Structure 1
Amino acid sequence: MDILKYEEWKSTVDTLGMYIQMAGKVALERIPQEPEWESAMFHITPTGISTGNIFSDNGIFQISFNFVKHEMVIHDEHGKKIVTPLRDGVSVAHFYKDFIEKLNFLGYRTDINSIPQEWCFTTPFEDDILHKSYNRHAVEKWFKLVKFAYKVLTKFAAPFRGRRTKINFYWGCMDIGTVRYSGKLLEVDPTLPVGFRYGVDAEEVEFGFNLGNNEIGEPYFFGFVWPNNPEEYKKTQISVDKAFYENQFIYKLRDCFESTFPEENAMKFFRIVYEAAKKVQNWENVNTYDKPLELPPQKIYRKH
């Protein structure tokens, strides 16, 4: 599987990221709120990402991005569907105008904050005529990596019996991840930005996959605890070749793929991050959380 460096498709990331944020902000306004913004996260689908069900006075609708056909689809419970192609040369401003018009046409008008969040620029969608790149080949390569990470994270997260999130696509920064919670709530810091403030009001350890749109510059797995990583946690020995600590634990996808057993090594990386978190945060109820599932074995094929 090819590794896609950030610089190879930066202009597309900046454009597609804004398209996705438009849909994310609709979900944020309409879906009943859950702790840590869980309700507003996207889901991974076989062909892309989706908001899941969004409620309105006119019925349920969804907004999905298909990275096989390269299109955004808005469809609802009445069978109505509008398709918007994802193509090179369409500015964020043009896409936003079209998106809002189509929502209104279907009867799902939603007033959103048009300023990007968690991004390296803050140009409102309606004013952004600079970002208009869409490289289909790069998007397809990236989504293959996302699906690999999604599979690994799903297998890792599945047996945990405590409170956890699903494998979410975080539309604010285009990474995916899952969170496990110790069960301890935290005091909300009123000085933090509102999005961050209510996203970290419980003690947690997070595991995920980032496309590398930062100083790392290439895709990687990550893990960290909240509140901020204590010194004891930073000194954790990660017995996975080439994994390291740099503000969080990092395991580059390139190094993972070059290992003999990529999937197993990624799982091992996440397990070590979790075991260290339990220790430094003094988790309670770990025997319950980690108790193996007592379920019948799954069978892909069954004899009739």
Structure 2
Amino acid sequence: MEKQQWPELSYDEAKDTYQTLHLWCQIVGKIKLAQLPWVNHSWHVTLQLTPSGFTTGDLPAGKKHFQINFDFKVHQLQVVTSLGEQRSFDLANLSVAGFYAMLMSTLEEVGLSIQINPVPNELEDAIPFPEDNTHATYNPAQATQLHAAFLLTQEVLSKFRAKFTGKCSPVHLFWGAFDLAVTRFSGKPAPKHPGGVPNLPDWVAQEAYSQEVNSCGFWPGNESLPMPAFYSYHYPEPEGYKTASVQPEEAYYHDTLGEYILPYKVVQQSDNPEQTLLSFLESTYRAGAQLANWDRKSLEQDPAILAKTHHANTQ
């Protein structure tokens, strides 16, 4: 089967679309947060990828259930319910304030009155959603390309996740920072996280990092790192981690962010993007796990079993 080409992404060209889409995802994510019981490490709040976009998945709402979907093929926001109700609106020409008003109105149309905290999380100088007419860019081609990059990344992250038998998160999209992530846990408690994330209660970060983790993923960039990139970090960071030998050679430790970075373009332009990304994920995990004395024998899948499983699945 022919592999899909990784799309070219440019933060400089697409950042306005990325920022608007990020804020739209925050609105949808906060609706999910309002409807579900708390799950450890905030796993319940995340969005999931679909072949055509992002989704909340099934959400309970009294006598019915509903789901909110971003569809980047037809460029719509869709609301569907278990009673067969379907509503949608176009994403083009909407500010964050316009999107917020349209979505809340659409939910009301199908009998869903949901209250959220209308202030973005994890962003400095956050503008309340109903007042944000500053972020109002949606380029359909840029959204489609970003979604394609997320899908291809998810495929690699899923393979990386499958090699771990300890506690591990799903591969999921955190709308706070707008990153697709997967997190491995050592099973040992971690020192209390200092918190200090903009517009996020300290207890949320402290609960998320209550155990030792290796976390990795992809995000389209922000002003602190103005390029699409893959990342990997350990919390707490073990001594010697930032000077460890990792792959590929283009990967580097970012002192301000406190994590390893691999520019997206390195993977996109590679002759073997999947293997290039896997080498980054595996080498940064391995460096941290060894330095932090993780019990790798009990936490990692036996390579022989993985080989047998792969062979069985290809027969």
Deviation at 1:156, TM superposition (A): 0.9
Aligned match of 1:22? 27
Equivalent residue in structure 1 for 2:48, among 43, 57, 60: 43
Runs of 4+ in structure 1 displaced over 3 angstroms?
186-192, 293-300
Q: TM-score, normalised by structure 1?
A: 0.91
Q: Secondary structure at the match of 1:209?
A: strand
Q: Please give the per-residue CA displacement for 1:220-261, whole angstroms capped at 9, x wherever unaligned.
A: 11100112x234111111131211111211111211233332
Instruction: List aligned pairs for 1:79-90, cutoff 5 A.
Output: 79-87=84-92, 89-90=93-94
RMSD between aligned alpha carbons? 1.9
- In structure 1, what is the Cα distance between the partners aligned to 2:247 and 2:12? 30
1:182-229 superposed Cα distances (whole Å, 9 cap, x missing partner) = 0123355586524323221211000101112233322111100112x2
* TM-score, normalised via structure 2 length: 0.88
**Counterparts of residues 114-129 of structure 1 (less than 5 Å):** 114-129=118-133
For 2:195 and 2:96, how far apart are their aligned partners in 1?
31
For 1:287, give the aligned amino acid: K
Measure, in 2, the Cα distance between the counterparts of 1:189 and 1:163: 20
Aligned partners of 2:285 and 2:7: how far apart in 1?
Answer: 28
C-alpha distance in 1 between matches for 2:17 and 2:69: 18
Aligned: 1:207 with 2:216:
yes
AA matched with 1:196: A
- Distance in 2 (CA, whole Å) between partners of 1:209 and 1:190 is 24
After superposition, give the CA deviation of every residue in 1:128-152 in whole Å (9 maximum; x if it has no partner). Answer: 1222111111111111211121111
Matches of 2:96 and 2:7 in 1, distance apart? 28
Decide whether the 8 Å contact of 2:195 with 2:205 is kept in 1.
no
2:101 maps to 97
CA contact (8 A) 2:96 2:136 kept: yes
Would you say 1:236 and 2:230 are equivalent positions? no
The answer to whether structure 1 residue 222 and structure 2 residue 227 are counterparts is no
2:121 and 2:167 map into 1 onto residues whose CA distance is 27
Corresponding position: 1:245 with 2:256: no
Deviation at 1:66, TM superposition (A): 0.8
Q: Counterpart of 1:83 in 2: which secondary structure? A: strand
The residue aligned with 1:106 is 110
Same amino acid, percent of matched pairs: 27
- AA in 2 matched with 1:56: A
Cα drift, residue 116 of structure 1: 0.7
Find the counterpart in structure 1 of residue 3 from structure 2. Answer: none
CA distance in 2 between counterparts of 1:291 and 1:93 reads 47
What is the aligned partner in structure 1 of residue 300 from structure 2?
290
Counterpart CA distance in 1 for 2:195 and 2:224 is 26
2: CA distance, partners of 1:282 / 1:149? 28
Check whether the contact 2:194–2:206 (CA below 8 A) recurs between aligned residues: yes
Deviation at 1:107? 2.3
| Residues in 1 aligned to 2:18 and 2:204: alpha-carbon distance in whole angstroms | 22
Cα distance, 1:135–1:205 mapped onto 2, change above 3 Å: same
Q: Number of residue pairs matched? A: 298
Q: How many Å separate the matches in 2 of 1:191 and 1:149?
A: 28
Return the match for 1:181 from 173, 182, 185: 185
Gaps of 5+ in 1: none
Whole-angstrom distance in 2 between the partners of 1:215 and 1:190:
20
Give the direction of change, closer, same or farther, for the CA distance of 1:180–1:189 in structure 2 (3 Å limit).
Answer: closer
Whether 1:156 aligns to 2:160 is: yes
Q: Which residue of 2 aligns with 1:276?
A: 287
Task: Report Cα offsets for 1:125-176 as digits up to 9, x if no partner.
Answer: 1111222111111111111211121111111111311110111111112210
Q: Matched residue of 1:223: which SS?
A: strand
Give the partner amino acid of 2:252: F
Q: How far has the Cα of 1:10 moved from its partner?
A: 1.8
1:53-92 alignment, distance < 5 Å: 53-87=58-92, 89-92=93-96
Q: What is the identity, as a one-letter code, of the residue corresponding to 1:237?
A: S
- Work out whether residues 209 and 219 of structure 1, in 8 Å CA contact, stay in contact via their aligned partners in 2: yes
In structure 2, the partner of 1:31 is 36
**Alpha-carbon distance in structure 1 between the residues aligned to 2:272 and 2:14:** 28
Residue aligned with 1:90, SS: coil
Comparing 75-84 with 187-196, greater Cα deviation is found at: 187-196
